[in-house]
């Protein structure tokens, strides 16, 4: 099939490359001429393991191409995916749908023959209705069906998630659209990927509800971690104990500095606004947002506590800047409020991240960026593990201790065992485990 993918951001580029790998002919469209020129030269604008090779293979095979011209790819497409950004709108937290609606109007003018227009972007309930209205208003003669097909991709594991999904959600009441989308995803039938067909508005809500629930699990275990520290319990064991209950499950029960990234903060805020607009407030999700924001700010105080309460003139080494491993994404990363708080308390900050430092420099210009973990720790009064990159899971503790001014480690991801750190001569503080 011929597919036009509007938007070459994280979702659009990964989805387009994977669809091409299925054997479809995919054209990715973006207004950013520099980005398209770079993609045409084989330069990938985001860090995602395996994506560069996947793009290169499908470009070489002639199944994947990039352009700034929307009209021609849409005219020849059987399906057009809208995968543009929906950032939080400045001032009120609603999802900014201006890019979605602008794409819909441009698509309308270029449609030729029956076409399925599919929102892949994360959008509030009812957005598909407005997309359809805009298309029909702009082109009353268009033979078009509008569907919702939300993405469930984890940064750092997006290609596997796309090819081995837990589920594929398709929101449409149009039988021709169901058939076309089923054909697009047919190669996944070998993996027995379940396809769930729903009404369009239901599909839109599923995406928001999924992200809000996962954010709630993270926030719940973080609050339990705070209680564990007060009562002398170990949150790691608590998480294992409750996660063995198959009604709860073990995933997303890892205590840490709070959630960040491009999805959970933005989508939970948008869901709260949607609920308020419909007079159905989501008090649990509102609390999740508040607790998460407070937690990120509290992490700097946790570091200060490990150093006796005073950071003025102290040097703090920060390992990990991105919101999670295997990505260069700094959006709403916990490292930002942590480091800002450390600076506000008078500390000097040195930092290292395997791939995120260029992006971090735009957010955190007033710190020292280092070559590796040991360079980062050199002369530090405390070392803080913020992102659980695999490179930080087996540090040479003797070497680390030798280069640090004080052997103090604050492990915000519980990467190390307290008894191991104590045996190595460190003052160690994890999350929900107390201080040794």
Q: Which residues are catalytic?
A: 263
Within 8 A by CB and 6+ apart from 156, the residues are 48, 49, 324, 325, 326, 327
Separation of CA 170 from chain center: 21
Reading the block at residue 219, the tokens are 């926030």
The residue behind tokens 């399906």 is 79
At residue 391, the 3 state secondary structure works out as: helix
Give CA–CA dist 125/106, Å, rounded.
Answer: 22
Give CA–CA dist 288/217, Å, rounded.
Answer: 9
What are φ and ψ of residue 116, in 5° steps?
-100, 125
- Contact 403/432 with Cβ under 8 angstroms? no
Give CA–CA dist 53/59, Å, rounded.
Answer: 10
Tell me how far CA of residue 186 lies from CA of 33, 114, 283, 285, in angstroms.
Answer: 33, 20, 40, 36
Q: What is the β-pairing status of strands 427-429 and 408-411?
A: parallel
Give CA–CA dist 14/154, Å, rounded.
Answer: 11
């Amino acid at each position: 099939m011929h597919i036009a993918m509007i938007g070459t951001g994280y979702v659009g580029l990964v989805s387009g490359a994977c669809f091409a790998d299925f054997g479809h002919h995919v054209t990715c469209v973006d207004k950013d001429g520099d980005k398209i020129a770079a993609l045409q030269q084989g330069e990938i604008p985001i860090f995602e393991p395996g994506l560069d090779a996947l793009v290169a293979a499908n470009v070489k095979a002639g199944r994947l191409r990039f352009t700034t011209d929307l009209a021609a790819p849409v005219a020849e497409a059987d399906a057009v995916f809208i995968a543009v950004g929906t950032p939080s709108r400045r001032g009120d937290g609603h999802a900014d749908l201006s890019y979605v609606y602008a794409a819909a109007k441009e698509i309308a003018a270029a449609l030729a023959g029956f076409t399925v227009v599919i929102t892949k972007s994360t959008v509030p309930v009812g957005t598909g209705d407005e997309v359809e209205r805009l298309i029909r208003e702009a082109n009353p003669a268009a033979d078009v069906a509008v569907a919702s097909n939300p993405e469930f991709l984890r940064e750092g594991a997006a290609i596997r998630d796309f090819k081995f999904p837990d589920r594929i959600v398709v929101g449409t009441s149009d039988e021709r659209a169901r058939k076309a989308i089923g054909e697009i995803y047919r190669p996944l039938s070998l993996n027995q990927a379940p396809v769930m067909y729903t009404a369009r508005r239901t599909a839109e809500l599923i995406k928001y509800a999924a992200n809000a629930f996962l954010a709630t699990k993270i926030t719940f275990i973080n609050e339990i971690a705070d209680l564990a520290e007060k009562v002398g319990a170990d949150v790691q064991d608590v998480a294992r104990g409750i996660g063995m209950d198959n009604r709860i499950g073990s995933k997303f029960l890892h205590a840490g500095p709070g959630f960040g990234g491009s999805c959970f903060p933005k989508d939970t805020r948008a869901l709260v606004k949607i609920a308020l607009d419909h007079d159905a407030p989501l008090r649990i999700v509102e609390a999740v947002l508040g607790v998460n924001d407070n937690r990120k700010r509290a992490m700097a105080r946790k570091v200060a506590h490990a150093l006796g309460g005073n950071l003025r003139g102290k040097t703090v080494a920060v390992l990990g800047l991105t919101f999670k491993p295997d990505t260069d994404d700094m959006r709403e990363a916990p490292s930002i409020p942590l480091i800002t708080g450390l600076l506000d308390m008078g500390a000097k900050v040195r930092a290292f991240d395997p791939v995120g430092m260029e992006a971090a420099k735009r957010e955190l210009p007033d710190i020292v960026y280092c070559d590796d973990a040991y360079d980062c720790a050199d002369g530090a009064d405390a070392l803080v593990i913020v992102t659980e990159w695999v490179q930080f899971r087996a540090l040479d503790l003797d070497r680390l201790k030798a280069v640090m001014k004080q052997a103090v480690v604050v492990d915000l991801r519980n990467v190390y065992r307290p008894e191991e750190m104590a045996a190595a001569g460190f003052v160690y503080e994890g999350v929900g485990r107390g201080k040794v």
